[in-house]
């Protein structure tokens, strides 16, 4: 058996406090469980380790491994829970926005594929979940594409910007200023959103609030970006606002109203296509690279500063998660003091009927 020695116990007690921290984050952040008191897991997890050491010493090592792996099990269950809720909410929003039927059907088929994968692959299907999460972070979208090109493109001055895909920075200058609807702010442009507020109460009486966007209005005319060398006109068609925070937010009944302001005081970074129109240069959507975005310069600098640390942290967590999943899902038996790792029969798994356990009850 896998026993915990007295010398290992203090170190594992400290480790159990780290496990308690993750348990607290998962239970309160993902499952919305109100822990009373909030530090209760910092008592429960070390207590489980202490009880295992005192009363189940031969199995104490396995109990600690179970405590450690429970973090990943709870995290995976939480991801599935949030994924289901997000899918349901997305479906409702798509129906409101009259999304084409083929897109909804395609999403349903993907969900059915994931459902069948659970039956065919069993607990190994969790690896599929990790793959989907990784792919969703890698596959192109507006934000990923913007930050990808931002990392590889040099920032050009406006006077010397070359035609084609380019990155520029400077302050926005209005050609035809607009006025925001909620605060009457005169600005270069704005996005005005209205969200539906939904509240729910769990069994412990804890109330959670969620917001669902029901309308969005963008008002932005042609404008200039100006640096110390000159200015260039921006054609805002298909311009994506990246990493903007609301400058104003208020709630009224079951609605939340927010304004996102493009002002003349903030430094912005833009990525798009520099193009000659007549005798002047303009900046517009790049049809080839499918990118045209604007983001506050300080947010971009902050993202670049912390990106290496974030990548290292994500790589470490991914390695730990994969290793833990392999330990948890690999068939292991104990033969005396020998640990036997069994081989998975993939042919039998793939030939099995995924619905056999449902209809033969």
49 neighbors 63 (Cβ within 8 angstroms): yes
- Mark 215-228 as b/e (b = at least 16 C-beta within 10 Å): eeeeebeebbbebe
Homologous superfamily in CATH for domain 142-308:
Nucleic acid-binding proteins (2.40.50.140)
What are the pLDDT digits (tens) for 65-118? 888 888 888 877 877 776 676 666 666 655 555 556 566 566 667 666 666 666
- End-to-end Cα spacing for the chain: 37
8 A C-beta contact, residue 67 and residue 49: yes
What pLDDT is recorded for position 157?
Answer: 94
Average pLDDT, the chain: 79
Long-range contacts of 110-117 (CB under 8 A, 24+ apart): 111/87, 116/354
Q: Where are the domains of the chain?
A: 9-137+313-359, 142-308
pTM equals: 0.57
pLDDT for res 216 = 92
How large is the greatest C-alpha to C-alpha distance in the chain, in angstroms?
85
Which of these ranges, 63-67, 161-165, 293-297, 319-323, has the smallest mean pLDDT? 319-323
Q: Which residues contact 10 (CB under 8 A, 6 or more apart)?
A: none
% of the chain surpassing 90 pLDDT = 33
């Amino acid at each position: 058996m896998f026993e915990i020695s007295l010398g290992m116990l203090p170190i594992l007690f400290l480790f159990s406090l780290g496990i308690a921290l993750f348990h607290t984050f998962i239970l309160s952040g993902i499952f919305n469980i109100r822990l009373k008191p909030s530090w209760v897991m910092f008592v429960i997890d070390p207590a489980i380790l202490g009880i295992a050491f005192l009363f189940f010493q031969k199995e104490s090592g396995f109990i600690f491994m179970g405590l450690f792996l429970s973090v990943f099990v709870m995290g995976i269950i939480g991801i599935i829970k949030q994924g289901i809720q997000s899918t349901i909410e997305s479906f409702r929003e798509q129906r409101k926005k009259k999304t084409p039927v083929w897109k909804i059907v395609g999403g349903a088929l993907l969900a059915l594929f994931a459902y069948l994968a659970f039956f065919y692959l069993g607990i190994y299907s969790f690896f599929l979940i990790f793959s989907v999460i990784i792919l969703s972070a890698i596959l192109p979208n507006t934000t990923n594409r913007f930050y990808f090109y931002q990392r590889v493109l040099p920032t050009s001055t406006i006077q010397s910007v070359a035609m084609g895909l380019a990155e520029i920075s400077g302050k926005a200058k209005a050609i035809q200023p607009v006025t925001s609807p909620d605060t009457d702010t005169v600005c270069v442009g704005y996005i005005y959103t209205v969200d539906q507020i939904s509240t729910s109460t769990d069994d412990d009486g804890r109330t959670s609030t969620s917001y669902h966007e029901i309308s969005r209005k963008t008002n932005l005319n042609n404008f200039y970006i100006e640096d110390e060398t000159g200015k260039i006109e921006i054609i805002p068609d298909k311009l994506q606002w990246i990493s903007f925070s609301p400058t104003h937010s208020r709630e009224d009944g079951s609605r939340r109203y927010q304004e996102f302001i493009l002002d003349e005081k903030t430094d912005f970074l833009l990525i798009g296509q520099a193009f000659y129109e007549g005798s002047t240069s303009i900046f517009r959507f790049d049809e080839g690279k499918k990118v045209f975005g604007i983001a506050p310069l300080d947010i971009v600098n902050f993202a670049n500063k912390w990106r290496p640390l974030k990548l290292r942290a994500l790589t470490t967590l991914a390695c730990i998660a994969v290793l833990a999943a392999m330990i948890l899902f690999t068939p292991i038996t104990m033969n005396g003091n020998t640990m036997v790792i069994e081989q998975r029969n993939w042919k039998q798994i793939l030939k099995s009927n995924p619905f056999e356990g449902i209809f033969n009850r």
